[in-house]
């Protein structure tokens, strides 16, 4: 029996997994896809190649995101199976073109198909799960990709694919003993080293904005997420947050960050009447005693409505509609300054696309709230009195580069991420999430302040350096003096995912050309 195809399939999955953050074997990504390229060249049957590529991608998905299981077992299985299937589509397209076109044309097609898939997966289409966008692989080696300020993560995906294709061509030329091996070796070296040289030579190692520095405090209460939702513990949790905050507040403190759903109530808080919520009285008492301080905090909230909306539900036994939110507030001594409602909801846990709504009941049995939350469509910066203009991100919203850069384009000068990664326990998940925030700092050249309920909370400077962190399962605070960034915009902030869009256009041209050729041949 020939085990070579299966071994090649497994090899790609394992190498991609070993390369992924928070591993230190990032370099493996530059040859991880070579075994799959050999499979594409050697496998005649499209069906067989699909199954082999699916195995590769499933190993990669499970190996890098197995920790989803700790939050939701059915959600994890669905994510692995669906994501691996979607990732197989660009590879099958490449395999179909390979015997009909030149290796050069097929290679360009693979790059176009893959980047187009990643771009679609970054859009809010209900099953968006871009955790494994190839460009994310460099989140731990941030000094390699300072040019993300120009390209975003699309540049990293392009770098990975081009290098793999050139090294594959070099190996093939060596095996075939043709005269192109020196040329391919030279091209491979250029493709591998040029982005590194550009990053080290042309981009700054540090980028600290000039201006008046303001003191920012990040609070990490370290509350077990399962105990957090236990009825009757709300006041105890809030008291702990206020104790930590009060102990570290000084006359220089401008902004305090509390994590996702820091203000929690079993039925949520009515946004229209927050200052009369009995449970929140201690918060406003603290702010009245510290009138120079603003608090940015997560909250479970709702609004009562006069008429139904796309996201509203009805209170059982009544005719009253309401919207529920995984939200955030900007508070000071004068009251609520701004509200934000999470916009990118987690597939399977917080939302499902319309074509899978028949699974609502099944997901809810396992703890999902697929029709539960309303979301905010527009990016609006939250401006507080000390000069900070916040770009708010709740939970995994910070993995979307284009989403975050829209805030910066509207004037935001500080990225504020509030999250609760404790559902995943002490696994690579919360570390990957932290590292991805470094990419947002590089793309936007803005400071990041990140408050995570159970960790890892962090301050990240505009070049992606971790300035200070508070580790997982620790209770405490972080403090830093930050100058709000100037209004200068990176190329990525100005133009967004332009590189993804270029390759999407190329993919459309390639598909159109192929379909036209097929139509002509059938005629």
- What is the distance between the alpha carbons of residues 339 and 41, in angstroms, rounded to a whole number? 54
- What is the distance between the alpha carbons of residues 324 and 266, in angstroms, rounded to a whole number? 12
**Chain centre distance of CA 90:** 21
Residue 346's pLDDT is: 82
Tokens of 437: 């925030």
What are the residues whose beta carbons fall under 8 Å from the beta carbon of 513, sequence distance 6 or more?
none
Average pLDDT, the chain: 89
What are 55-92's pLDDT values in tens digits?
Answer: 999 999 999 999 999 888 888 898 999 999 999 999 99
Between the alpha carbon of residue 184 and those of residues 158, 191, 386, the distances in Å are 17, 10, 56
Residue 354's pLDDT is: 52
C-alpha neighbours within 13 Å on the C-beta side of residue 385: 14
- pTM value? 0.92
Residue 366's pLDDT is: 37
What are 320-329's pLDDT values in tens digits?
Answer: 888 888 999 9
What is the radius of gyration, based on Cα positions, of the chain? Answer: 25
Q: How confident is the model over 252-268, as a mean pLDDT? A: 91
φ/ψ of residue 317, rounded to 5: 80, 5
Q: Looking only at Cα atoms, what is the longest distance across the chain?
A: 81
pLDDT of 227 > 60? The answer is yes
Q: How confident is the model over 30-47, as a mean pLDDT? A: 95
Range of weakest confidence among 5-14, 334-343, 349-358, 418-427: 349-358
Residue 229's pLDDT is: 67
Count of beta carbons in the 10 Å neighbourhood of residue 354: 7
Residue 209's pLDDT is: 65
pLDDT-based confidence at residue 365 (cuts at 50, 70, 90): very low
- What is the distance between the alpha carbons of residues 449 and 437, in angstroms, rounded to a whole number? 9
pLDDT-based confidence at residue 399 (cuts at 50, 70, 90): very high
**Chain centre distance of CA 36:** 26
Cis peptide before 521 (omega within 30 of 0): no
What b/e sequence results for 132-157 when a residue is b if at least 16 CB atoms lie within 10 Å of its CB, and e otherwise?
A: bbbbbbbbbbbebbbbbbbbbbbbbb
pLDDT of 522 > 80? The answer is no
Which residue is listed with tokens 């904005």?
Answer: 209
- What is the distance between the alpha carbons of residues 513 and 19, in angstroms, rounded to a whole number? 35
Residue 197's pLDDT is: 95
pLDDT of 134 > 60? The answer is yes
Q: How confident is the model over 395-404, as a mean pLDDT? A: 95
What are 293-333's pLDDT values in tens digits?
Answer: 999 999 999 888 888 887 888 888 787 888 888 999 999 99
One DSSP character per residue, 470-511 reads E-TT--EEEEEEEPPP-S---HHHHH-SHHHHHHHHHHHHHH
What are 493-518's pLDDT values in tens digits?
Answer: 999 999 999 999 999 999 888 888 77
What are 156-215's pLDDT values in tens digits?
Answer: 999 999 999 999 999 998 888 887 888 989 999 999 999 999 999 988 777 666 678 899
pLDDT of 487 > 90? The answer is no
Highest mean pLDDT of the ranges 106-115, 230-239, 417-426, 481-490: 106-115
Residue 359's pLDDT is: 54
pLDDT-based confidence at residue 486 (cuts at 50, 70, 90): confident
Ramachandran sector of residue 447 (left: φ over 0; alpha: ψ -120 to 50; beta: rest): beta
Q: Are 392 and 39 in contact (CB under 8 A)?
A: no
């Amino acid at each position: 029996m020939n085990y070579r195809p299966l071994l090649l399939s497994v090899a790609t999955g394992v190498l991609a997994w070993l390369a992924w953050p928070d591993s230190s074997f990032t370099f493996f990504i530059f040859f991880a896809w070579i075994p799959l390229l050999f499979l594409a060249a050697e496998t005649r049957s499209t069906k067989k190649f699909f199954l082999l590529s699916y195995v590769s991608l499933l190993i990669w998905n499970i190996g890098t995101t197995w920790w989803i299981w700790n939050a939701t077992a059915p959600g994890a299985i669905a994510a692995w199976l669906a994501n691996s299937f979607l990732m197989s589509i660009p590879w099958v397209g490449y395999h179909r073109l390979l015997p009909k076109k030149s290796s050069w044309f097929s290679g360009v097609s693979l790059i176009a198909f893959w980047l187009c898939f990643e771009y679609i997966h970054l859009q809010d289409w209900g099953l968006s799960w871009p955790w494994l966008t190839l460009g994310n692989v460099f989140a731990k080696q941030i000094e390699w990709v300072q040019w993300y300020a120009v390209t975003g993560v699309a540049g990293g995906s392009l770098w990975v694919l081009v290098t793999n294709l050139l090294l594959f061509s070099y190996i093939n030329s060596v095996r075939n003993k043709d005269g192109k091996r020196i040329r391919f070796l030279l091209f491979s070296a250029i493709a591998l080293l040029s982005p590194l040289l550009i990053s080290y030579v042309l981009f700054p190692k540090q980028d600290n904005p000039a201006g008046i520095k303001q003191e920012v405090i990040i609070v990490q209460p370290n509350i077990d997420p399962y105990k957090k939702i236990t009825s009757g513990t709300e006041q105890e949790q809030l008291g702990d947050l206020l104790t930590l905050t009060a102990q570290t507040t000084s006359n220089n403190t401008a902004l305090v960050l509390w994590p996702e759903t820091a203000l929690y109530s079993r039925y949520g808080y009515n946004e229209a009447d927050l200052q009369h919520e009995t449970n929140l009285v201690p918060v406003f008492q603290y702010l009245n005693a510290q009138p120079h301080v603003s608090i940015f905090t997560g909250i479970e909230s709702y609004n009562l409505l006069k008429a139904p909306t796309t996201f509203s539900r009805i209170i059982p036994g009544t005719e009253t509609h309401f919207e529920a939110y995984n939200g955030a507030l900007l508070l000071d001594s004068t009251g609520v300054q701004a509200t934000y409602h999470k916009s990118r909801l987690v597939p399977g846990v917080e939302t499902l696309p319309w074509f899978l709504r028949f699974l609502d009941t099944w997901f809810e049995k396992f703890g999902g709230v697929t029709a539960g939350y309303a979301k905010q469509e527009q990016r609006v910066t939250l401006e507080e009195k000390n000069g900070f203009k916040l770009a708010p991100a709740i939970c995994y919203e910070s993995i979307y580069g284009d989403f975050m850069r829209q805030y910066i384009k509207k004037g935001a000068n500080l990225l504020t991420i509030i999250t609760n990664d404790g559902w995943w326990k002490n696994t690579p998940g919360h570390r990957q999430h932290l590292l991805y925030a470094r990419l947002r700092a590089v793309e936007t050249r803005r400071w990041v302040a990140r408050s995570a309920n159970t960790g890892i909370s962090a301050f990240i400077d505009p070049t992606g350096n971790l300035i200070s962190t508070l580790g997982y399962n620790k209770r405490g605070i972080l403090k830093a003096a930050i100058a709000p960034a100037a209004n200068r915009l990176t190329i990525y902030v100005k133009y967004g995912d332009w590189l993804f869009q270029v390759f999407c256009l190329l993919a459309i041209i390639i598909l159109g050309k192929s379909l036209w050729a097929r139509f002509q041949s059938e005629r």
